[in-house]
Amino acid sequence: TLDKMAEYTQSEDIIKRYEAYGWETYEIDGHDLAVVEETIAAAKASNNGKPKFIKCNTIIGKGMEETEGTNAAHGEAGVPYVDKARAAIGLPEEKWFVSEGTRDFFEGVQEKNAKIYADWQATYSAWKEANPEKAAELEAAVNDDVMPAEEMMKVIPEMGTDAEATRVSGFKVIQEIAKAVPNYISGSADLHGSTRNYINDGGNFGAGFDKSYAGKNLYFGIREHAMGAILNGIAYHGIFKASGSTFLVFVDYFRPTIRVASLAELNRVSYILTHDSIGVGEDGPTHQPVETVSGLRVIPNLDVFRPSDAEETVAAYVSSVTRKEGPTALILSRQNLAQNNDVPAHERREGALKGAYIAKKETADLDLIIIATGSEVQHALAAAKDMPGARVVSMPCMELYERQSDDYKESVLPSTCTKRIAMEAGVSAPWYKYASKVVGVDRFGFSAPGDIVMKELGMSAENLASEIATMN
């Protein structure tokens, strides 16, 4: 490694680790090319269903006597000795030399592969003719062809008018998503019972017990980082759209995989992250995310959706499976939230699909805009009830709102109204982009029932109204 030789910094037995994983392992001299070729051939010929791991023991910087066998060979220290080392092992001075043996090996590869491809296409064509419905479903999955978001929202029934946690709404919605998108699968890092993303009648994926490889529900165990990496692998392979769930506060365990998904534009991936705020309650500050949602919002190309009610949750899920540019994080509540029944269901869905919309329009001259998201929208609506000049804007997804036209954004947040206040049960910093005053939570929470924590830390209609009263 850069600092020291590997035996200095790590003491584990790599072969035993992979054997414990259930892999088939090989250990060879990595400088013996004949043995390398034989071992690769043996691994390919072994059809026992196990993944293969070949440990090739080599000497770093071999042939470069000044740095051979030392960590200095890992970096730039060996650069001055490269030409000398090339000559010592018989390579010509030409820097981009390709041996005749290498050229001979690749001769005819194109012709060979063309025949293999043609044979496969013939086999597929015969299968497609015999199985037209399955072929159509497969090709739609491969091409990432799903019905448009607007159409998908129409086939999902209205969610109801009673107060409900958005994780519970999510459970209802994911059943509909699984019907509308046959190649959609979902899993959890040991929290299906809490995150509520189990696909009913979908079966469980894997071997043994009640599992099969046709299952749509994945059990990742308490392995958040592995879950994120597996989701990325599924997306890279194509065919399936996959989501994984855990508590929001645990998202930092697999943050690097979310960053990769965003960087690689893996739109087939989504994350279901529940227990979204200090409303978690008795588990206390270790399990109450305050900085976490904003920590996700700063990742480029990641849509972060924090819906305020069931109908916004529909839009969030639909957006996650129809988006083409990158992954989506769905941020859902543990506690019940009031439904904004004054706005028709289809309007809430359509508005949420644009990232932000007017959840309550002013009934007099506009003199105040209250912006809120998630569980705080209900407080914004309650506080504005007796304020005829107040507009309430629900902003479930900042990123999606920012991609709307200038005209739409101006219609929601008109530049003529600068008296604005935002509210979220999390750190306040991101909201100053839209508001001059923010009611947020810039500290860790504490252990108590969720409603008490919320009230004590200012997440109430009463406190919001008091803060508004202090504004000019």
In DSSP notation, 389-428 reads: TEEEEE-S-HHHHHTS-HHHHHHHS-TT---EEEE-SS-S
Distance between CA atoms of residues 342 and 334, nearest Å = 23
Beta bridge partners of 276: none
Helix (H) or strand (E) holding 139, with range, is: helix 132-142
| C-alpha distance across the termini of the chain, in Å | 60
Q: Is 168 helix (H, G, I), strand (E, B) or coil?
A: helix
Catalytic, out of 164, 176, 224, 376: 224
What is the CB-side half-sphere exposure of residue 216 using CA atoms within 13 A?
Answer: 18
Give residue 454's identity as a one-letter amino acid code.
M
Secondary structure, 3-state, 257-310: HHHHHHHCCCCCEEEEEECCCHHHCCCCCCCCCCCHHHHHHCCCCCEEECCCCH
For residues 264 and 234, is the Cβ–Cβ distance under 8 A?
no
For residues 304 and 437, is the Cβ–Cβ distance under 8 A?
no
Please confirm, yes or no, whether 224 is among the known catalytic residues. yes
Distance between CA atoms of residues 395 and 241, nearest Å = 26
Distance between CA atoms of residues 450 and 448, nearest Å = 6
Distance between CA atoms of residues 135 and 137, nearest Å = 5
Rounded to the nearest 10°, the torsion over CA 65, 71, 72, 74 is: 100
Distance between CA atoms of residues 435 and 433, nearest Å = 6
* Catalytic residue list: 224
